[in-house]
Amino acid sequence: MILATLLSAAFYEDEDAWQRGTATGLQEPPLASALFGWASLFALLSQHLVYGRRHVTLLASAGDKVVGCCGLTFEPAPPDVIAATGAREGCDYGLLTGLAVDPAHRRRGVASALLAEAGRLGQARLAPPGMLALLVARTNTAALRLYAGQGFEEQTSWVDVRWRAEAERGKLGKPRRLLLVRRLPG
Ligand SMILES: CC(C)(COP(=O)(O)OP(=O)(O)OC[C@H]1O[C@@H](n2cnc3c(N)ncnc32)[C@H](O)[C@@H]1OP(=O)(O)O)[C@@H](O)C(=O)NCCC(=O)NCCS
């Protein structure tokens, strides 16, 4: 019950966005099962607890079922992102995390609609020129195509230091990630 109340308050934080979005909307606090399991629900909740009003969770629903989600956190761009993008030091950016669509609802534009809404929120919240960024595994061809179609561009000078450190220790497993950025119209 407490969980539902906290989530509900967090999700309603930007109610206008819910009203505007075509694929987004939430009438009731979601059940854990609708959000791809308890692990996902706790992951989302922890973002709201850590970042407060700087974090928004976008949900896409079909009928009364949540079929897609994505996190968007507004925070100062870290030095590696500033260096790779040439953005102004100290500027805020929007970091997208945890984009996922229910397998039964893929290839119907759900992720595209979530990203479009993230772009609208970014424009509303960030001082121009705003930018959205995300990390994606180099091997995730589906996501890479999606992001390219939505105007995200790879920042080729950015290096996945976590991947490099593990590779240097001879540890293989986690794929190398790429930094993609979409610059928002001013
Ligand atoms: C990647 C993912 C979010 C895409 O969601 P989706 O709702 O199916 O995406 P959309 O329907 O909006 O697709 C838009 C475009 O992206 C590209 N795309 C999406 N899925 C694709 C796939 N499996 N193969 C190739 N291209 C794909 C296509 O260009 C597609 O346009 P089209 O259907 O007209 O060809 C979804 O497959 C998913 O949840 N994957 C697992 C989690 C994940 O990898 N998240 C990304 C983390 S960085």
Kind plus residue range of the DSSP H or E element containing 111: helix 110-125
**pLDDT over 90 at 159, yes or no:** yes
Q: How far apart, in whole angstroms, are the C-alpha atoms of residue 49 and residue 180?
A: 26
Residue 61's pLDDT is 82
**pLDDT over 60 at 19, yes or no:** no
Residues 6+ apart with CB under 8 A from 44: 7, 35, 57, 69, 71, 98
Residue 168's pLDDT is 85
**pLDDT over 60 at 25, yes or no:** no
**pLDDT over 60 at 15, yes or no:** no
Adjacent-strand bridge partners of 59: 69
pLDDT tens for 112-151 read 999 999 999 999 999 999 999 999 999 999 999 999 999 9
Ligand 1 in reach of 107 Cβ (< 6 A): yes
**pLDDT over 80 at 56, yes or no:** yes
Ligand 1: residue whose CA is nearest its atom 26: 142
What is the pTM (predicted TM-score) of this model?
Answer: 0.84
Ligand 1 in reach of 102 Cβ (< 6 A): no
Q: Picking from 66-70, 159-163, 175-179, which range would have the lowest pLDDT averaged per residue?
A: 66-70
CATH class of 2-183: alpha beta
Ligand 1 in reach of 83 Cβ (< 6 A): no
Ligand 1 in reach of 104 Cβ (< 6 A): no
pLDDT tens for 168-178 read 888 777 789 99
**pLDDT over 80 at 35, yes or no:** no
Residue 143's pLDDT is 96
Ligand 1: residue whose CA is nearest its atom 42: 100
Long-range contacts of residues 87-94, Cβ cutoff 8 Å, at least 24 apart: 87/131, 91/127, 92/125, 92/126, 92/127, 92/130, 93/126, 93/130, 93/131, 93/132, 93/133, 94/118, 94/121, 94/122, 94/125, 94/126, 94/130, 94/131, 94/132, 94/133
- The best mutation among 106, 136, 180 to test binding of ligand 1, ranked by most ligand atoms within 8 Å of the C-beta, falls on 106
- The best mutation among 105, 140, 146 to test binding of ligand 1, ranked by most ligand atoms within 8 Å of the C-beta, falls on 146
CA of 146, closest atom in ligand 1: 16
pLDDT tens for 72-118 read 999 999 999 999 999 999 999 999 998 888 888 899 999 999 999 99
Residue 27's pLDDT is 35
